[in-house]
A and B are shown apart, each in its own frame.
Chain A
Amino acid sequence: MRRVNDLRARNHPAWWAFLMHRLSGLVLALFLPLHFWALGQALHGEAALDGFLKFADHSLVKFGEWGLVVLLALHLTGGLRLLLIEFGPWSGLRKNWIAGSVGLAAATGMAFALALIG
């Protein structure tokens, strides 16, 4: 028998950054086929695509889209941090990037929300 760690062992910024990166990647990957299928409606003409876009106008769907945009921004900036750690010169765990990526994702989310309203 081996003991397994719980959150007390994992509770530090780089671990939360890992979890954020993995979960955002998982959700984005599973969303992609849906996204592609929806755009593929254009093959059946403008009306078919508009039919889907009407469905996407529901506020709940809009909220989902907003979440996906935030996750995409998180996955992008989190990924840049990982590339810097793996390919750049070592300068610690670059925790400033973790804070920065959360901030940037929040800013992207707000820009998207403003664009939706405006």
Chain B
Amino acid sequence: MNGSVATQARLWLWQRVSAMVLGVCVLVHLAVIIHAVRGGLSAAEILARTQGSWAFGAFYTVFVLAAAVHAPIGLARIAEEWLGWRGLKVTVATHLFGLLLLVTGLRAVYGVVVP
């Protein structure tokens, strides 16, 4: 197996493994959403739930990491197959998108848990 083929096989596996993690995360997240929107959302209510909670912080950190792996791989497939992008263009664009998710995601977790 040459290098790029091995990378493609690895990306496929990462997307599946991240999907398994996300499967659990999304289930919990949906329950949290439906619970949280009862009676309307307010910042005080959200932050009361999240601030200082290590459980919330750990859970949503894992969630962000898994999403930052999963989404760019899927978007790369779409870019290749529906936009006709190939090679470096796909790699750069999807890495940047993954980085964006990682930075904004971890920032959001930090924002609602730590201050």
Contact = CB atoms under 8 A, between A and B. Distances in A.
A and B in direct contact, judged by CB atoms within 8 A: yes
B91 interface: no
B30 interface: yes
Contacts of B42: 50, 53
A46 B74 contact: no
In this complex, the member of A50, A69, A75, A76 whose beta carbon has the largest number of chain B beta carbons within 10 angstroms is A76
Given A36-B101, A50-B42, A29 B111 contact: no
Contacts of B47: 42, 46, 49
A115 B31 CA distance: 11
B64 to A, nearest CB: 8
Nearest to A23: B78
Given A39-B112, A79-B19, A116-B37, A26 B30 contact: no
Interface string A11-48: 00000000000100110110011011111111100110
B43 A112 contact: no
Interface string A76-100: 1001101100110000000000000
B44 interface: yes
B108 A39 contact: yes
Contact of A43 (B30, B71, B101, B107): B107
B41 A53 contact: yes
Contact of A76 (B26, B101, B105, B109): B26
B37 to A, nearest CB: 5
A86 B108 CA distance: 34
B88 interface: no
Most A CB contacts (10 A, CB to CB) among B20, B23, B44, B104 go to B104
Contacts of A42: 43, 46-47, 108, 111-112, 115
B84 interface: no
B74 A29 contact: yes
Interface string B78-107: 100000000000000000010011001101
A115 to B, nearest CB: 5
